[in-house]
Chain A
Amino acid sequence: MKRLGKIYMALIIFFLYVPIFVLIVFSFNESKSRSVFSGFTLEWYERLFNNSIIMSSLVNTLIIAVIASIISTILGTLAAIGINSMRKVPKSIVMNITNIPVINPEIVTGVSLMLLFVFFAARMNMEFGFVTLVIAHITFDVPYVILNIMPKFKQMDPHLFEAAQDLGCSPFTAFRKVILPEIMPGIISGFLMAFTYSLDDFVISYFTCGATSQTLPITIYSMTRRKISPEINALSTLIFVVVVVILIAKNIIENRQAKKNTVYKGGRA
């Protein structure tokens, strides 16, 4: 039984990784063939770095992800604190609306924002591009920030904030010293989630980017529509390496923290 489980897991992992490894192998292939490996080359990597469209859309993606995730973290953190102190009915209404971009298919969110921006563009002097992209990204990012922070309030004593004020803290100091530390883990995970979603988003960006501003996923899409270009394989390889490095680092950090925590708790007991 145990062995069967192991074989099964191996098969699933094989299924998940084989396509990626084939991409990686063929990123070093001399010819454009997708099936025969004819010789080793780094040409595709060189072309990738000299491809100004890819490089500028990469920079664009990073800028948009940074701006959108920072703004949505601030907006979402304030929102979560406010929503938490609302009465039951308004709270559930706001949370239900906040859930809409999470539940709705991305394409529906994309076209709904596109309709809004078309409306704005026709009446005000606004063009599709960087601004609409940032707005769209913030819109789908904020719900994730809020949803990451809200559970943290459940673990917090609601009277602590009042107690701090009774003991002489100004509301702002009470917020900074009492609430903020409690919800910090939620804020950080919300920020990271928003950032990765922004980096990765294709569908919503596709409908809100216009012709001038491109993000990396949109460039990748237009590359896959054209003829075979092994530069995509090279790009995939680099992204894969970055992802692996980040995840391994994250795993190591978490394991260390877990160890520290057990030692700490053990010492106390």
Chain B
Amino acid sequence: MKQLRVLSLPYLVWMVIFIVVPIIMVAFFAFTTSDGNFTIDNISNVGQYANIFVHSIWLALIATAICLVLSYPVAFYLSRMEKHKQGTMLMIVMLPMWMNFLLRTYAWMTLLGNNGIINYLLGLIGLGPFKLINTSGAVVLGMVYNYLPFMILPLYSVMQKIDKSVIEAARDLGCNPVKVMFRVIVPLSLPGIVSGITMVFVPAISTFIISRMLGGGSNLLIGDLIEMQFLGNAYDPHLGAAIALVLMVIILAIMTVMNQFSPDDQVLI
């Protein structure tokens, strides 16, 4: 098989130039001034935006928690359906994800707008109008709507592998349904929970579209901050790189913690 190794050479070159070097460049920009001198000012300047970081982490956490709570019953219900119906049902649940997420977010823009259909319908029964769009709630809603399938899929694929007889055994041995849930199904689905959380949290914390389209000016997130440094008015790629670097470290730290909850040997059953 040795002679086959050479086949990976083109990719290895590609990987170094377009994956490794760019990441190094982010780190390099984060620690230099525009003259190319070493500095830690960029990193320390990130501290000024601590409130934006806290706000982003907070909204992403809420959205992730809501996704988990909403998805768990869905995944469980799907995994207990008759086998031949599961595929079709899964397709129905996943289908909206195939629409571009800009269009999905735009859909909520039209729904939540001050002249949108929700306020219109509420107006018909004499309520409102409420300020729905340009709020933190709208941003969280956008995150939940866009990333819900990312939570359902990993949960479903773990639960589908849980042997029915394990649940029956627990019941035979005297567990009530609540106990079956929390002592059998939840522990066995832990790997799915962990990967679902990361798959929702990472895009949620780094989004700039959802906050821009649904959050208005008052809901600046980390993603907006980075985008502004590279393509916006506040052009400063050095500060932008520093923010991106801090974001990567936060995500890496969270993922390391999450992975502690999911030892490999738990995936077995």
**Chain A residues close to B by CB (< 8 Å):** 5, 8-9, 12-13, 15-17, 19-20, 22-23, 26, 33-36, 75-76, 78-86, 94, 97-98, 100-101, 103-109, 111-116, 118-119, 135, 138-139, 142, 146, 158, 161-162, 171, 175, 196, 200, 202-203, 206-207, 216-217, 220-221, 224, 232-233, 235-236, 239-240, 243-244, 247, 251, 254-255
Contact = CB atoms under 8 A, between A and B. Distances in A.
Contact of B87 (A9, A19, A251): A251
Contacts, number: 216
Given A111-B226, A224-B105, 13 more contacts: A19-B145, A81-B8, A82-B7, A111-B240, A142-B11, A171-B3, A196-B98, A216-B100, A220-B100, A224-B102, A239-B99, A243-B99, A247-B95
Contacts of B237: 111, 115, 118
Main secondary structure of the interface of A (DSSP, over half): helix
Contacts of B11: 75-76, 78-79, 82, 142, 146
A237 B111 CA distance: 16
B218 interface: no
Nearest to A116: B22
A11 to B, nearest CB: 9
Contacts of A26: 110
Given A112-B26, A202-B101, A23 B244 contact: no
A256 to B, nearest CB: 12
Contact of A20 (B14, B23, B96): B96
Contacts of B208: 107
Contacts of B6: 82
Interface string B8-34: 111110110111111101100100000
A60 to B, nearest CB: 15
Interface in B81-96: 87-89, 91-93, 95-96
B14 A34 contact: no
B117 interface: yes
Contacts of A138: 14, 18
A88 B115 CA distance: 60
B132 interface: no
Interface residues of B, number: 79
A107 B15 contact: no
B77 A36 contact: no
Pairs of residues from A and B, 6 with the lowest C-beta to C-beta distance, nearest first: A82-B8, A79-B11, A105-B206, A112-B22, A35-B120, A19-B107
A232 B26 contact: no
Contacts of B70: 12
Contacts of B23: 100, 112
Contact of A107 (B29, B101, B109, B227): B227
A13 B148 CA distance: 11
A113 B241 CA distance: 12
B104 interface: yes
A108 to B, nearest CB: 5
B115 A12 contact: no
Interface in B185-217: 202-203, 205-206, 208-209, 213
Contacts of B178: none
Contacts of B22: 109, 112-113, 115-116
A108 B107 contact: no
Contacts of A161: 1, 4
A13 B29 contact: no
Contact of A82 (B5, B21, B29): B5
B267 interface: no
A119 B22 CA distance: 10
Most chain B beta-carbon contacts within 10 A, residue among A9, A107, A138, A175: A107
Given A5-B73, A22-B111, A251-B87, A112 B203 contact: no
B109 A224 contact: yes
B15 A97 contact: yes
